[in-house]
């Protein structure tokens, strides 16, 4: 007497009768990966009661994934799956909580730093063209609707309300670290200076794994844009100048080329989970939870080689109605030690580009070892 009769054939019939491509278009992942996700999140399964049958585990996860992957309102998702609007809200929240609790430990756990993780990422970025790099760091503003009493803090200088997702990304487009929830007025550099990741990148292990480049001990570093403070642990490009040398231009090109992994990672995140790209209209704490869960799911899909559809990326770019705030700081850009490190990398990149160091590579080739003549001989798709 107290329940509303709801019917739907979308999940129970349409998804069973159609092929895998149809499934992926609606849920932004393959059926194989979806089944693996269900196995990882078995604790979400509910029990039948004397009053009603529970929503099956796979349907609960399907409701959550569909909601995150679309910009549809909860009432629309409710009608599609034949459940209540409040049920959709509860399922999405509990799903995101479980994803963060279970999958974060497996798929987003690069810190604290270990020698194995550092070597793997340094080797990856060397193939992309930048030595001694652990990851690329950047911030992304995501639209939210804050409560009236806090609205001024979340109002960024581009004229809309946002929260900041600060992330370190590896060469495979995977999140190594995320910091979510800072108000839109905050500067990326300020968030980084107060973050756990900055403390980690001051650990002795990064200097212990330094490499001799042009007679300079170069530690393992992060690379970022002009918004961040220049330091021994964070490299950024030379300031723009009409009189910049070719070496400085080459350095800036190599850094920008490798730093694109973090920008592309944000693009993939918004393309897969359109609710993030279009803006979140949940409470602040739930919005932060959704962003964190989507970042973990992004890594989960990446690890399982679940390819992203190019059309999704194009649609995400075309539908982007908010311009990202751009920030810049030149504080400490002239510091002595970071400048020495940057100049050493600059000269190393110049040697590689000019072919000065090809004698050693020719010698390796003569011994039957296949090597590239420079970092730029291999093509990497960073679209």
Q: Residues 186, 316: one domain?
A: yes
Q: Residues 314, 187: one domain?
A: yes
- Give the pLDDT score at 34: 95
373 Cβ contact list (under 8 Å, min separation 6): 355, 358, 361
Q: Residues 293, 329: one domain?
A: yes
Q: Residues 115, 93: one domain?
A: no
The C-alpha atoms of residue 30 and residue 20 are separated, in whole angstroms, by 7
Both tokens assigned to 239: 């300031």
Q: Is the distance from CB of 346 to CB of 246 less than 8 angstroms?
A: no
Could you list the residue range(s) of the whole structural domain that residue 27 is in? 10-102
Domain boundary pick from 102, 118, 153? 102
- Cβ neighbour number for residue 148 with a 10 Å cutoff: 7
Q: Residues 180, 243: one domain?
A: yes
Residue 64 lies in a domain: yes
Q: Residues 198, 338: one domain?
A: yes
354 Cβ contact list (under 8 Å, min separation 6): none
Q: What are the average pLDDT values for consecutive 10-residue runs of the chain, which has 383 residues?
A: 69 88 92 95 85 88 95 91 92 96 91 90 91 92 90 88 93 93 88 90 90 88 88 87 85 91 92 90 92 95 89 77 66 69 88 48 40 32 37
Peptide bond into 178 cis (omega under 30): no
Q: Can you give the pTM of this predicted structure?
A: 0.85
Residue 46 lies in a domain: yes
Residue 4 lies in a domain: no
Residue 318 lies in a domain: yes
Closest CA to 351 of 284, 251, 255: 251
Residue 332 lies in a domain: yes
Q: Residues 96, 165: one domain?
A: no
Q: Residues 342, 195: one domain?
A: yes
- Give the pLDDT score at 355: 40
The C-alpha atoms of residue 315 and residue 140 are separated, in whole angstroms, by 18
φ, ψ of residue 377 to 5 degrees: the values are -75, -20
Residue 59 lies in a domain: yes
- Give the pLDDT score at 321: 63
Domain boundary pick from 102, 130, 162? 102
Q: Residues 69, 112: one domain?
A: no
Both tokens assigned to 100: 């963060």
Q: Residues 57, 171: one domain?
A: no
Q: Residues 130, 92: one domain?
A: no
Domain boundary pick from 82, 102, 122? 102
Q: Residues 122, 195: one domain?
A: yes
Evaluated on CA atoms 169, 374, 381, 244, the torsion sign reads positive
Residue 1 lies in a domain: no
Closest CA to 274 of 304, 322, 306, 315: 315
The total of structural domains in the chain comes to 2
Residue 381 lies in a domain: no
């Amino acid at each position: 007497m107290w329940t509303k009769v709801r019917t739907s054939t979308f999940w129970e019939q349409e998804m069973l009768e159609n092929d895998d491509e149809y499934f992926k278009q609606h849920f932004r992942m393959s059926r194989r990966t979806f089944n693996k996700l269900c196995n990882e999140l078995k604790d979400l399964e509910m029990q039948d009661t004397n009053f009603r049958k529970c929503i099956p585990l796979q349907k609960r996860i399907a409701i959550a994934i569909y909601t995150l992957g679309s910009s549809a309102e909860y009432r629309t998702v409710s009608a599609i799956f034949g459940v209540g609007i409040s049920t959709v809200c509860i399922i999405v929240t509990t799903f995101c909580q479980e994803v963060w609790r279970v999958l974060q430990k497996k798929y987003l756990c690069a810190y604290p730093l270990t020698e194995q993780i550092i070597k793997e990422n340094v080797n990856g970025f060397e193939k992309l063209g930048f030595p001694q790099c652990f990851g690329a760091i950047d911030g992304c503003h995501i639209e939210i609707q804050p409560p009236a009493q806090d609205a001024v803090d979340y109002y960024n200088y581009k004229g809309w309300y946002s929260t900041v997702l600060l992330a370190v990304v590896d060469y495979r487009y995977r999140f190594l670290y995320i910091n979510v929830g800072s108000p839109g007025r905050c500067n990326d550099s300020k968030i980084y200076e107060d973050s756990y990741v900055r403390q980690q990148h001051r650990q002795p292990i990064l200097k212990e794994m330094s490499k001799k480049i042009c007679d300079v001990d170069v530690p393992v570093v992060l690379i970022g844009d002009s918004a961040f403070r220049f330091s021994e642990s964070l490299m950024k490009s030379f300031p723009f100048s009409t009189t910049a040398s070719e070496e400085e231009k080459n350095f800036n090109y190599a850094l920008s080329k490798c730093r694109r992994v973090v920008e592309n990672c944000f693009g993939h995140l918004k393309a897969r989970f359109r609710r993030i790209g279009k803006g979140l209209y949940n409470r602040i704490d739930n919005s932060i939870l959704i962003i964190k869960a989507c970042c973990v799911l992004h890594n989960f899909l990446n690890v399982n080689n679940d390819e992203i559809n190019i059309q999704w990326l194009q649609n995400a770019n075309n539908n982007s109605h908010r311009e990202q705030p751009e920030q810049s700081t030149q504080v400490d850009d002239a510091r002595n030690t970071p400048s020495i490190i940057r100049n050493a990398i600059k000269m190393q990149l110049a040697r590689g580009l000019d072919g000065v160091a090809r004698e050693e590579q020719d010698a390796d080739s003569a011994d039957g070892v296949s090597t590239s003549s420079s970092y730029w001989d291999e093509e990497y798709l960073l679209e």
